[in-house]
Amino acid sequence: MARKPIEYVEIEIDGQAVKVPANQVVLWSARELGYDIPHFCAHRWLVPYGACRMCLVKVEAGGRMMPKLQTSCSLMPAEGMKIWTKDPEVIQARREQLEFHLLNHPLECPVCDKGGECMLQDQTRDHGMGEGRFREQKRIRPDASMNPYIRLNYKRCIHCKRCVNYASDIDGSYFLQFVDRGAETYIESFDDPAAAPRFSGNVIDMCPVGALTAKSYRFTMGRPWEQELKPSIGALDSVGANIWLNARLGDVARIVPRDNPTVENGMLDDATRFGWEFIEDPRRLTRALVRGEEETRVSRLAGETEAGRILGRIVNEHGPGSVGLLAGAGLNTEEYLALKLFAGRVLNTSYYNLGDCMSSIEVPDDATLATVGSGFTTIEGILNAATVLTLGCDLFEEAPSLGLRLDIAARRGLLRLLNARSQQSGIDRFAELSLDYPFGGLLRFVRGLTNALTGQGEVPPEVTPLAERLRQAGEDCAIVCGDEVWLSEDPPTVLKALAALREAIAQASPDTKAVYLNPVYKSVNSAGALLVNCFERLTDGRLEGVTAPVGCLGKVLEAAAAGKLKALVIFDKDVLVRYQHRDVVEKALKNVEAVIYCGAFPNATSERAHVHLPLGTWAHREGFVINLEWRVQKRLVASIDSVAPSVLDVVNGIAAAMGQSPVAADLPALRAQLARVIPGLPTNTLDDLPDQGLPFSPKPPALDRLKASTDLPAEVAAPDGQLLLTPKRFLYNDREEIRFSRVFDKIPKPFYAFLNPADAAKLGVSDGEWIGLGGGHELELPVQLAAWVRPGSVVVNDYYLAQPANRLAGAAPAAVAVKKLAGVGKD
């Protein structure tokens, strides 16, 4: 990595000679070594602030005793420095400062939600004087709502300013600020009611007392020590944030970060943190739905029997290859193996596709697998790179914790951030350079940039400033790409172009020792799905009785649309809304004899299914998932009363109804089989897998040299009077974690047609007015003016069930006619 090796200096703490990193303040070094220095305002994410005065230590530097006690949170070590943490003077100072902290703090620990995990409580026990001498009136002020998630109990606030510093220095939203002065200072929220909070929940963890608490946890969900904790993985993005699922008395109580410094560093986005109510939402399917003449609810067993009966008949009548199987990317890795075995041994088909990233027709070729399966780096590696180039992604929406960590690193000057994407994004604010191109123009941009670096082929002028900077990429460079790759017509082509760019940077920048390419995948286990889908070529693994897939998602759907497939089995994938070519899906769903859907909640696809089988949410199913750095991480079942089937349960149930033997006896057996099939996968049992996960290296096919095309596709432009339709992934959309968690009902979700103010002026529409998109007004959406939208584009949420973008998107890029809707007033 680009960082210089850490230098150590020798200092003395309480008479003990110790070596500490020269670039880290004494507080953290001493605490790592086991010296108990109390603190409130210092936090490992924040720059030293020195306000609480709890971490005072006695210091001798340069042979001279410093006249005052020093705050160790701001004290950089120097060779030969001497620190005293247990000197009577220091202990006295701590008592004094703690007494000040407690003056106005109410004595309500027994009813405070923070009690049991409260820094003030712990430090008072360890360092306090045990009695209060304050006889005057305590400071009071009513509680206040900070945003839809967070409530401030003002009386408990000890003014450490962690939350305010977080809002200004870390998430940069400035949603919390101080008002008034001195002892009357209080925290006020300046949250924009029209904007959905993205990283606000982290202040709840940071608050050292019970002042900022989660509305969904406070008073109702028990005390910290009553919680049963299960390690799990945030399900909303491919970073795989490490979380603790807290449950009490059989109910999920909250999600808190599990603080894996190498993955998400404790920084959760609000959708992950507060999105747990769906796990036990009454709208979750617990029995099967069978749609014949009418819709009937039957037991899960009866549903599986019905599904088995239908599939058995079709396989018998039409022979091998008559059933197609599709699966979303939120399942566990071993469940993909169960599905692969189910397809091969039970359904006898090679028309299957696991996962969501490669929405192309053909199975990714060797060059594509080599691109994603090698040459990537870890999340730490991205953050430690000298230069990071993000291409075709909005990380704040697609991988919020990675986006935030990059944002902080760029703000602190630890790396150079370069950006190119179709719309402005939040991460641009500290980027050295941000370029945009029309949506759908990623391939043209990447190839043009490559040509500029290699000096071959056509070079569009807009890439030149970026190419110049990439020629001095520094010691190492990481390319992070995202959703625009997966939304493109043929993701493998774009990936191969990116691989060529990687090589071009390595050659054009003489100092650069390594260039990495890390795709941000669409879902939590996209990598695991891809691994199992293509394990024949991504690893040395072989398995009897299964065949490699004949094609990708598009191939399966087209076969179904063409009448070649007689039934579709879909696991947890709203393919009707998610696949760009809605007409193909419509045709496929119409032309097959039966659609069997298996998923926890109803969605657009499940409503077309003849049988909808229940499935547990991710909190109900144990297993392991693989994130964007190919880290294998486990998620365990929450300690909750409700039980729900895993994918293995469902496929075994269907197999039994078809008179076939189960695909695997149980999940451990499946896992053991997977470990045999894919050597190097560190998952013989979940117990062996450490909580913080283990890295895994796929073995993609070796390639001598990538033959990269230098041809530039035509420039994308909408004809006059039309706008370029840009489906964009937002953190808040209609996925089930958000749609079925009531906490998000209060959040303003981005279900708008986002227009650049210039375009809106041309159309004569303003905020809140409705427009129709497409010739037949296929999409009708309220307008929100947004300066971040590239002129000539209209941005819509890519997953909005009421107005699905793929009614129009079709083959991206799509230009659409836009018309103001009369009669539909402001809402």
* Binding-site ranges for another protein (CB under 8 A): 48-54, 56, 67-69, 74, 92-93, 96-97, 99-101, 103-104, 133-137, 139, 158-159, 161, 178, 180-185
| Burial (CB count <10 Å: 0-12, 13-18, 19+), residue 119 | middle
Both ends of the chain: CA-CA distance in Å? Answer: 52
Q: Which is nearer to another protein, 54 or 595 (CB)?
A: 54
What is the DSSP code (8-state) at residue 219? T
Smallest distance from the beta carbon of 191 to another protein, in angstroms?
18
Sign of CA dihedral 118, 121, 125, 129: positive
Query: What whole-number distance in Å separates Cα of residue 527 and Cα of residue 521?
Result: 7
What sign for the dihedral angle of Cα 713, 718, 723, 725? negative
Least CB distance to another protein at residue 26 (A): 14
Instruction: Confirm if 528 and 535 have CB atoms less than 8 A apart.
Output: no
Residue closer to another protein, measured from CB, 177 or 685: 177
Least gap, CB of 117 to another protein (angstroms): 22
* Backbone torsions φ then ψ of 518, nearest 5 degrees: -120, 105
Measured from the CB atom, the residue of 156 and 159 that comes closer to another protein is: 159
Residue whose CB is less far from another protein, 158 or 325: 158
Instruction: From residue 37, give the alpha-carbon distance in Å to each of 99, 209, 464, 622.
Output: 16, 17, 52, 39
Nearer to another protein, 84 or 740 (CB): 84
CB atoms within 10 A of CB 656: 16
The minimum distance between CB 769 and another protein, in angstroms, equals 36
Using DSSP, state whether 465 is helix, strand or coil: helix
Rounded to the nearest whole angstrom, what is the least distance from the CB of residue 88 to another protein in the complex?
A: 13
Q: How many residues does the chain have?
A: 827
Q: Please report how close the Cβ of residue 504 comes to another protein at its closest, in angstroms.
A: 33
How many Å separate Cα 719 from the centre of its chain? Answer: 36
Shortest distance, CB of residue 140 to another protein, whole angstroms? 13
Residue 52 or 712 with smaller CB distance to another protein? 52
Q: What angle do CA 706, 449, 402 make, to 5 degrees?
A: 90
The DSSP annotation for 250-301 comes to BEEEEEEE---TTTTTT---HHHHHTTGGGG-TTS--SEEEESSSEEEE-HH
Burial-class residue 547 by CB neighbours within 10 Å (0-12, 13-18, 19+). Answer: middle
Nearer to another protein, 100 or 788 (CB): 100
Residues 6+ apart with CB under 8 A from 377: 385, 478, 514, 516, 518, 629
What DSSP string describes 43-55? -TTSPP---S-TT
Nearer to another protein, 24 or 710 (CB): 24
Closest CB 54 distance from another protein, rounded Å: 8
Q: Are 716 and 438 in contact (CB under 8 A)?
A: yes
The nearest distance, CB 85 to another protein, in angstroms, is 16
Q: How far is CA 75 from CA 24, 28, 78, 415, in A?
A: 9, 10, 9, 25
Minimum distance, C-beta of residue 112 to another protein, in the bound complex (Å): 20
b (16+ CB within 10 A) / e for 573-602: bbbbbbbbbbebbebbbebbbbbbbbbbbb
The CB-of-69 to another protein minimum distance in angstroms stands at: 6
Q: Which is nearer to another protein, 94 or 405 (CB)?
A: 94
Residue 133 CB, shortest distance to another protein, in Å, is 6
Tell me whether residue 92 or residue 685 sits nearer to another protein (CB atom): 92
52/657 with CB nearer another protein: 52
Contacts of 283 (CB under 8 A, 6+ apart): 601, 602, 740
Strands 694-695 and 770-773: unpaired
**Between 120 and 369, CB nearer to another protein:** 120
Phi, psi of 89 (to 5 degrees): -65, -40
Structure tokens that stand for 494 in this block: 């774009």
Find the shortest distance in angstroms from Cβ 74 to another protein: 6
694-695/722-728 β-pairing: unpaired
Residue 549 DSSP one-character state: -
Nearer to another protein, 68 or 705 (CB): 68
Q: Which is nearer to another protein, 166 or 571 (CB)?
A: 166
Q: Collapsing DSSP states into helix, strand and coil, what is residue 606?
A: helix
Least Å from the CB of residue 47 to another protein: 8
For another protein, give the closer residue by CB, 99 or 281: 99
Taking the least distance from each CB to another protein, the nearer of 56 and 307 is 56
Rounded Cα distance between 220 and 254, Å, is 11
Task: Determine the residue type at 698.
Answer: P
State the minimum distance, in angstroms, from the CB of residue 184 to another protein: 8
Residue 418 Cβ vs another protein, minimum distance, rounded to whole Å: 23
* Nearest C-alpha neighbor of 153 from the set 118, 123, 125, 129: 118
Task: Name the CA dihedral angle for 603, 606, 612, 615, rounded to a multiple of 10 degrees.
Answer: -50
Of 624, 640, 743, the closest CA to residue 246 belongs to 640
Of 751, 742, 750, the C-alpha closest to 149 is 742
Give dist(CA 170, CA 176) in Å, integer. 12
Q: Is the CB of 309 or the CB of 411 nearer to another protein?
A: 411
Rounded Cα distance between 106 and 101, Å, is: 11
Instruction: Tell me which residue has tokens 């199992």.
Output: 532
CB of 135 vs another protein, minimal distance in Å: 8
| C-beta of 95 vs 471, nearer to another protein | 95
Rounded least distance, CB 90 to another protein, Å = 11
